[in-house]
Each structure stands twice: as C-alpha cells, then as structure tokens.
C-alpha cells in the first residue's frame, strides 16, 4: 500500500542524465544539518514502509515561510501553516508522500533523490 505509482526501470541502457519520477509513501527517519559547497543544507532521509529503500533529499537551511525547507516541514507536519517554533526532531517518524527521481549512477547502482513532498492521501487527485 506504500507505493502510489508502481515503477519499473527498463534494463536497457539509458543516457547518464536519464531520470524517472515516482512517488512513494515514506517515513522520515532523520534530518541532519550538513555543510556543503553552497552553505548549510538540511539532509532529509526517508525510508519506504517495507524498509527496502532509502530516499535522500536536501533543502536550504532557511526559516523563511516561502522556503523549500518550510514547505517540507509543513508537508511532514500535515499542516498548511507553520507554528512559531518547530523542533525538527519531533518530525521524525511522520509519514509523507515523497516525489523522487531514480538516478542511475556510473557504478551501475541507482540513487533515489527526493525533490518534493506532499501529504495528500491516495485518490485525492
């Protein structure tokens, strides 16, 4: 029931830039602050219900209400507006729909990269 869209990856060769977009119901397992070349970023780690796949996404470290970070917090909290203070640790364990790319790597593995979150229930579209 965790899969909203069933995804099959073709076995034939794809260009290195090939990406497939899918959406799964996932659980937030960790939020970590990382220093990157572009500054501080939040690393969001999600796991599928069957614990078979891990999906990682990054947002800027911003408290502005229009930021991608605020949008993801609202989705994980399942609320339209943010409270005055948010403890990110309390978000861990919540479920959300995660839109992600399946990105083939040079070593033959596939990386799951989150690019958007929402909390619409299946069938609401």
pTM of the predicted protein model: 0.74
Digit-coded pLDDT (tens) for 48-86: 888 888 999 999 988 788 888 888 998 898 888 778 888
CATH of domain 20-118: 2.40.50
CB atoms closer than 10 angstroms to residue 15: 7
Show me where the domains of the chain are located: 20-118
pLDDT at 2 over 60: no
CA distance 94 to 46: 10
Q: How far apart are the first and last CA of the chain?
A: 17
Contacts of 28 (CB under 8 A, 6+ apart): 44, 45, 46, 76, 91, 92, 93, 94, 95, 96
Q: How far is CA 75 from the centre of its chain?
A: 11
């Amino acid at each position: 029931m965790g899969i909203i869209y069933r995804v099959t990856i073709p076995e034939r060769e794809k260009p290195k830039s090939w990406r497939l977009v899918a959406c799964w119901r996932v659980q937030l397992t960790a939020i970590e602050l990382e220093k990157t070349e572009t500054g501080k970023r939040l690393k969001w780690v999600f796991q599928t219900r069957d614990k078979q796949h891990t999906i990682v996404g990054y947002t800027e470290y911003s408290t502005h209400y229009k930021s991608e970070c605020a949008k993801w917090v609202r989705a994980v909290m399942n609320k339209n507006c943010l409270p005055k203070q948010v403890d990110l640790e309390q978000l861990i364990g919540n479920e959300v729909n995660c839109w992600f790319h399946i990105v083939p790597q040079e070593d033959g593995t596939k990386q799951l990269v989150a690019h958007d979150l929402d909390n619409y229930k299946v069938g609401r579209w």
